Every structure is written in C-alpha cells, then in structure tokens.
Amino acid sequence: MASVSRINGFKPVKHLNGAPYNGQANMYFADSGNSDVIMVGDMVKLAGDARSASGVPTVARHASGATEAALGVVVGIVFTGVGDTINVPPVTSLDTPVYRAASTNRYLMVADSPDLIFEAQTSGATFATANVGLNCEIDATAGSTVTGASGMSIDLAALNTTATLPLKVVGFPNRPDNLIGDAFTNAYVIINNHQLKGGTGTAGV
C-alpha cells in the first residue's frame, strides 16, 4: 500500500497513443544566474534565452502554485561532451548525488514532447478517481542535495477546471502498491499548458 511518502518528482512513462517512453529528450541549459537547485524529475519551463556557446535554449525550474506553462521534465544532467568548456563535471564518486547545483552553468536533458504522460506522487489531498480529468498545479518543493531526489509532486489541493493550470490528471497506475484512498497515491498527468503547443491548455472536466 502507498502508506509511505516517496516523492521523487515526475517520471515520463508513455505517450498519449500508448507507446512507451524510451528515453527521448532534448538538451537545454540552466544559466548560472538562476539560483534554483534542479534535480532529475523536476518540471522546468523556458527561460526566454539561449546559451551563446551552443545555441541551446535556457530553462528554469517551475514554481509551486503557478498557472504558467511548462516545458517538460528533467531526465538527465549533462557534464561533458557538448563543446562548452565551462561544463566541468563535479562528480568524483559513484555515490555522489547528481543534480544541477544552484547558480551554476549546466546542460540538462529534458523530456519535452507535448504528448508525454508522467507519473508522480500526489500531495495536498487524498487522490480519488473523480480527480481524473481535472487540472492542477505543481508542488515544487525543493529536492534533496543529499540523495539527489526531486521534491516535486502533483498538487491536488488546487484541482480545478481552469484551462491554464499546468497539469491535467489522466489516470493512475493500477498496481498493488498504489491503491485509491491511500495516503500517498501516484497518478498520471500530462502537461496541460505546454510551451510547445498552441493555446494555454484545455479546461478540466
């Protein structure tokens, strides 16, 4: 049963047509002027700029309680191989948590396809089947620099039909460890208000 909180951000699992997610991602850049720590599993948004050394678009961590559009989820942190000498790897051992430290230049791999479905733990309220179809916000609690785990989750406290909310609940994993009514249920969401789609999302039902 989902009686223990295991928040670890968002994980891409499949596409809307049912095809499994198989690792596709695009490269983006977090500029040193941004003071947020960014973890794998964090939701990010376009920051309106690009890295001059590579032409890669810049991103920033999505905020809690924001109705603004989102881009995608970080699935990797890049330390070498992009032809940018400032991108120096800080990892010195296999047990070092991997994340983008605050105020550092770092390339990120982001799962940004508008048709991706993500799994994440819910927070703010107990999940119910009636939540499916409604829109909601992102709980952007900071992650752990000790474990490298993202602190982001699906914020059910803000469930509504509002079209501009960033997430839409589209289901939940049917597993023995994920029962409806448990304290820490996981759910499936898509990015409703997506920066690479036209419009500002669709109303929930």
Q: What is the pLDDT of residues 120-141, one digit of tens each?
A: 999 989 999 999 999 999 999 9
pLDDT band with cut points at 50, 70 and 90 for residue 94: low
Q: How far apart are CA 91 and CA 102, in angstroms?
A: 15
- What confidence score (pLDDT) does residue 2 get? 60
Q: Is the pLDDT of residue 11 over 60?
A: yes
Average pLDDT over residues 82-88: 48
Q: Where are the beta strands (DSSP E) in the chain?
A: 11-15, 26-30, 43-50, 57-61, 72-78, 106-111, 116-123, 135-140, 152-160, 167-171, 186-191
- What confidence score (pLDDT) does residue 160 get? 95
Query: 14 and 20 in contact (C-beta within 8 Å)?
Result: yes
Q: Is the pLDDT of residue 88 over 50?
A: no
Q: Is the pLDDT of residue 109 over 70?
A: yes
Average pLDDT over residues 145-152: 92
Average pLDDT over residues 1-29: 91
Q: Would strands 152-160 and 57-61 be described as parallel, antiparallel, or unpaired?
A: unpaired
The percentage of residues in the chain with a pLDDT greater than 70, rounded to a whole number, is 91
Q: What is the pLDDT of residues 157-204, one digit of tens each?
A: 989 999 999 999 999 999 888 888 888 899 999 999 999 998 889 999
Q: Is the pLDDT of residue 86 over 50?
A: no
The alpha-helical segments, DSSP class H, found in the chain are: none
- What confidence score (pLDDT) does residue 98 get? 82
- What confidence score (pLDDT) does residue 198 get? 81
Coil, helix or strand at residue 129: helix
- What confidence score (pLDDT) does residue 154 get? 96
- What confidence score (pLDDT) does residue 22 get? 95
Q: What is the pLDDT of residues 36-80, one digit of tens each?
A: 999 999 999 999 899 888 899 999 999 988 788 999 999 998 876
Q: How far apart are CA 10 and CA 73, in angstroms?
A: 7
